[in-house]
Every structure is written in structure tokens, then in C-alpha cells.
Amino acid sequence: MKRVRKIKALLDMSILLVACMCVLSARYFTLPEEVIYVGVVIVVLTGGVILIEWQRRNNNPDNDSASGIRQTKEYIHEHVAHELMLLNEDDKPVKSWDLTGKISMIIGRSNRDEEIDVDLGNCEYGALVSIQHAVLNFSLDTWYLEDLGSENGIKIKKADDGNCYQVASNRPVILETGDVIYIARTKLLFT
């Protein structure tokens, strides 16, 4: 793999060098404008490719330990299935929803006009749940929770400090494994 990267880097540098020579030699030789424009475009594009490859190489987990941590987190996210678990009053799981492969999940109460991904309408406090109460969004290897302007709000008990926080409407918060989400009075565990 490293050998292929080296060959590609050499090829990119060669293309960049030839394109630069073409653009620079246009000053001394009479070349059509089209050739000069093509040379400039090739210089810009190849330079961009080289910069992107250089950035990737510098962020490669093989090159430094901080990137290795990122690689470990990505491995964990890809190989550990995340789910949302409905908990009863005794904190026992009642139902769960698999989040693997999902990028967005609407939490609320189903009706004939709205289909909801996480339907809490049949729960003990289902009447307090808005039709579209909250949304879970997955972006950049992180799950976010957002209140969609619900009547009874959302609180989140963070696993890292054990404190309970009110989720502001339309202000996403990061979810971490072990966080407990309170949708009205319904408890959901993010695992």
C-alpha cells in the first residue's frame, strides 16, 4: 500500500512539474492560449490533489498516536452497534431500536399522517410525547440529539458527569454511550 502511494505521489509530482514547465515556457515560446490555460488548470488541479494527499498522509493513524486514537474510535463505532433502549420505571429495558447504519431517526408519536422511527406513543407517558418530539442525527462519527420544538421538552442525563441538562429547542447536543434521554417522562438509554 505504501509503495502504491509513493508511485502515485511521484506521478502527481511529475504531472505538476510538466504542467509548470509548460506554463513557464509559454513566456519564452509562442504557445496558443488554450495550451497555457490547460497547463494552468492542470497545475491547479494536480497541486490540489497533492495537497489533499499530503493532508491525508499527515492525518494517517500510522504517523502519530493522536490519530491512532481517532482510528480506534472509528473502529469502535463501526464494530459496536449503537441502540436506543426504552427503560421502564425500574430501569429495565422494555424495547430497543438499532441505530446501526442510520443517519437520522425521528422520535415521537406515530399517527396516520406521520411515520416515526422511534414511536413512543404506546409508552406509559406516550400522551406527553409530541408527534415529532426529537431527532437523532449522525454526523462525523457522532450522534446528536435535537429537540424539535416539543411541548414537554427533553432532558439528558450525561453518563460522564451524572448531571441532568435541559436540551434547548433546535440546539443539538452530542450523545455518548450511557447517556439517558428523558422525552417528557419517558426514559431512553443510548448504548
3-class SS at 22? helix
Tell me which DSSP letter residue 102 carries: -
The set of cell numbers assigned to 53 is 494527499
pLDDT tens, the chain, 191 aa long: 566 667 777 777 777 777 777 677 766 777 777 777 777 787 777 777 777 776 676 665 554 444 554 554 454 444 445 899 999 989 999 999 999 889 999 999 988 888 899 999 988 888 899 999 999 999 888 899 999 999 999 999 999 999 999 999 889 999 999 999 999 889 999 99
Look up the CATH number of domain 81-190: 2.60.200.20
**pTM score > 0.75 for this model?**
no
Domain boundaries, the chain: 2-58, 81-190
Sign of CA dihedral 59, 64, 70, 71: positive
Q: Which three cell numbers stand for residue 72?
A: 480506534
